[in-house]
Amino acid sequence: MSAQTQVRRVTAPDIRARKGGEPIVSLTAYDTPMARILDPHCDLLLVGDSVGMVVHGLDSTVGVTLDMMILHGQAVMRGAKRALVAVDMPFGSYEQSPEQAFANAARIMAETGCQAIKIESGTYAADTIRFMAARSIPVIGHVGLRPQAALADGGFKAKGRTDAERRRVIDEAVATADAGAFAIVIEGVAEDLAREITETVAVPTIGIGASAACDGQILVTHDMLGVFDWTPKFVKRYDNMAERTDAAVAQFAREVRDRSFPSEREVYTMKRSDG
């Protein structure tokens, strides 16, 4: 028997049971070292298709492929031992039919070992969620601002500003929950709408740019760490990694150029005195 302590992984029913209870902590992750850092703090790590914009420099998530999501999902699974890992299904991999969605979701789960998948769930998606959930795929829905629809919508725009749009977002959330999703991400809606959805659906809501009136929160990790010089208005920055990285790299460059770059022996002594 291994002497290592087994860490119990958070499951989809655990997240489902958090409705109205302890708030769900969630961040995006795309690689192994960051997943290791985030894992002890988070209930849910999302391998978001935001990876296309955040890591690969794409203008939208539309160009993200199934192979990219699987590669990043595998990397995150190597780093996360406790948090539930959900992988986003990319644009074009689930909209055609429930059968297409099931086949691609099963491939993501088999090849990454992740615990759930997430799809952007317009009202058209209810049949697909029902089909997958009935076949043992744990599904998270995503309503409100749906980044994969940004090209059709004319940009990344907050949702629910008109009565009709508000009704549509509520209908999407209800259809998503009724179809069997175990949680729903709500993106880019005002507080009163987030509250109404959260009070209406039986599954936990996880907000991004959707106020504190949700059952949990998710942020794009690179946004909250201040990796970019621009972040959406709603994002609180908890660090300024771009500036700190710039300072560290500038110091390295200075040390190389002025030949003060330390010898291995000096580095070893510095590390030892660090503790």
Q: Which of 15, 83, 139, 208 binds ligand KIV (CB under 6 A)?
A: 208
Side chain identity, residue 222:
H
Does the CA dihedral 98-101-105-106 come out positive or negative?
positive
Alpha carbon distance 205, 207 (integer Å) = 6
Residue 217 binding ligand KIV, by CB under 6 A:
no
Residue 185 binding ligand KIV, by CB under 6 A:
yes
Nearest approach, Cβ of 221 to ligand KIV (angstroms)? 9
Alpha carbon distance 214, 128 (integer Å) = 25
Q: Which residues contact 264 (CB under 8 A, 6 or more apart)?
A: none
Q: How many residues bind ligand KIV (CB under 6 A)?
A: 12
Binding mask 140-169 for ligand KIV (x = CB under 6 A): --x---------------------------
Q: Which of 18, 24, 28, 83 binds ligand KIV (CB under 6 A)?
A: 28
Alpha carbon distance 31, 113 (integer Å) = 15
Nearest approach, Cβ of 275 to ligand KIV (angstroms)? 36
Exposure string of 104-118, with b = 16+ CB inside 10 Å and e = fewer, is bbeebbebbebbbbb
Alpha carbon distance 129, 241 (integer Å) = 38
Q: Which of 15, 18, 45, 50 binds ligand KIV (CB under 6 A)?
A: 50
Active-site residue 187, yes or no? Answer: yes
Alpha carbon distance 158, 116 (integer Å) = 26
Of the candidates 22, 95, 172, 187, the residue annotated as catalytic is: 187
Nearest approach, Cβ of 218 to ligand KIV (angstroms)? 5
Three-state SS at 225: coil
Q: Which of 39, 43, 88, 223 binds ligand KIV (CB under 6 A)?
A: 88
Closest to ligand KIV by CB, 218 or 270: 218
Residue 49 binding ligand KIV, by CB under 6 A:
yes
Q: Which residues bind ligand KIV (CB under 6 A)?
A: 28, 46, 48-50, 88, 142, 185, 187, 208, 218, 220
Active site residues: 187
